[in-house]
């Protein structure tokens, strides 16, 4: 399965993190090419006058939508606090009802949105509680995750409908979904330069409305990185460019590597000044680019490459060339 996880807010505890990672990894290990999306720690309100509900996980997939609350309750606590358990079940139902009402406005065919509680204690410790239903809400152990999200239910949503529902609940996630970002950090008219399916590192061209700066904005989404060193990877290109700023041919850094506004700890960006020069592929088809000019460009390119190796590499640590999305002349 194809699974996308969007952290909409910070996790309250390790239990929530454990449940999210468990669902993501188990879904990814399932065969097939279906689209599943997990929105975690979502602050949701039907209008601006009401206080937002905090929802641990909203699962959206081909079988519909599930609202999941995560608890680390023990059997002893469950038995001793029955009234609290019932109150929590009612809250889960209310959250699911609000989510369903909101989503059904744009997707009338959406079936009932149910709520469930996932218990993160070891399955053997909550065996007696798992499977119980309280006020219409069923409790599940981690090893019963398929039932918790309704994996085996009838398929009712297409991949396009899945993403449409995601955007309704978390509009900011459009940045990570398809790169359709128009404004960020004061820059406007952003145009995506990298492939839409590249989610970890995206490059945009844009401008600053007041300063008139034209820039290439590099945006990194750590939640889209599969490895544990996602932030190290994200910083790598900026640090390499920073070391080359003494050379005239190096792209000039404008904004240093920093948190993207509204996405602290999740997304980072830096900008370089856009030279507004055409890429080699476009320039090569220009009949006005003479042979002598092409030779001069080739000599300058080789000279710059030689300086790059001398400046960035050593005998012990030679420079390693990585993917470059666009080359300007």
Q: For 106-132, write each residue's pLDDT tens digit.
A: 899 899 999 999 999 888 889 899 889
| List of domains in the chain | 2-171 (no CATH), 179-312 (3.30.200.20)
* Model confidence band, residue 43 (pLDDT cutoffs 50, 70, 90): confident
- Any idea which of 66-70, 175-179, 311-315 has the lowest mean pLDDT? 311-315
pLDDT at 184 over 90: no
What are the tens digits of pLDDT across the range 205-264? Answer: 999 988 888 999 999 988 776 666 788 888 988 998 898 888 887 889 999 999 888 676
pLDDT at 103 over 60: yes
pLDDT of residue 174: 61
- The segment with the largest mean pLDDT, out of 41-50, 143-152, 177-186, 246-255, is 143-152
* Model confidence band, residue 97 (pLDDT cutoffs 50, 70, 90): very high
* Model confidence band, residue 327 (pLDDT cutoffs 50, 70, 90): very low
**At how many degrees (to 10) do helices 230-243 and 291-312 cross?**
110
pLDDT at 139 over 80: yes
């Amino acid at each position: 399965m194809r699974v996308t996880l969007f952290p909409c807010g910070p996790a309250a505890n390790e239990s929530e993190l454990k449940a999210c990672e468990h669902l993501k990894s188990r879904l990814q290990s399932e065969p097939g090419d279906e689209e599943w999306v997990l929105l975690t720690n979502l602050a949701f309100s039907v209008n601006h006058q009401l206080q937002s509900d905090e929802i641990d996980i909203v699962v959206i997939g081909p079988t519909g939508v599930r609202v999941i609350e995560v608890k680390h309750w023990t059997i002893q606590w469950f038995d001793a606090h029955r009234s609290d358990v019932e109150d929590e079940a009612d809250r889960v139902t209310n959250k699911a009802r609000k989510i369903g009402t909101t989503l059904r406005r744009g997707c009338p065919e959406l079936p009932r949105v149910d709520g469930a509680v996932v218990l993160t204690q070891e399955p053997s410790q909550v065996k007696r509680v798992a499977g119980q239903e309280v006020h219409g809400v069923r409790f599940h152990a981690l090893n019963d995750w398929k039932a918790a999200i309704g994996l085996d239910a009838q398929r009712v949503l297409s991949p396009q409908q899945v993403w449409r529902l995601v955007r309704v609940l978390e509009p900011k996630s459009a940045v990570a979904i398809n790169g359709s970002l128009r404004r960020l950090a004061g820059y406007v008219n952003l145009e995506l330069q990298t492939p839409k399916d590249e989610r970890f590192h995206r490059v945009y061209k844009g401008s600053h409305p007041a300063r008139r700066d034209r820039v290439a904005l590099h945006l990194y989404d750590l939640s889209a990185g599969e490895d544990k060193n996602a932030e190290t990877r994200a910083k790598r290109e900026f640090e390499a460019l920073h070391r080359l700023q003494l050379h005239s041919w190096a792209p000039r850094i404008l904004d240093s590597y920093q948190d993207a506004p509204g996405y602290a700890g999740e997304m980072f960006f830096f900008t370089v000044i856009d030279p507004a020069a055409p890429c080699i592929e476009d320039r090569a088809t220009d009949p006005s680019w003479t042979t002598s000019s092409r030779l001069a460009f080739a000599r300058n390119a080789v000279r710059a490459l030689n300086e790059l190796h001398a400046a960035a590499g050593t005998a012990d640590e030679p420079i390693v060339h990585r993917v470059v999305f666009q080359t300007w002349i």
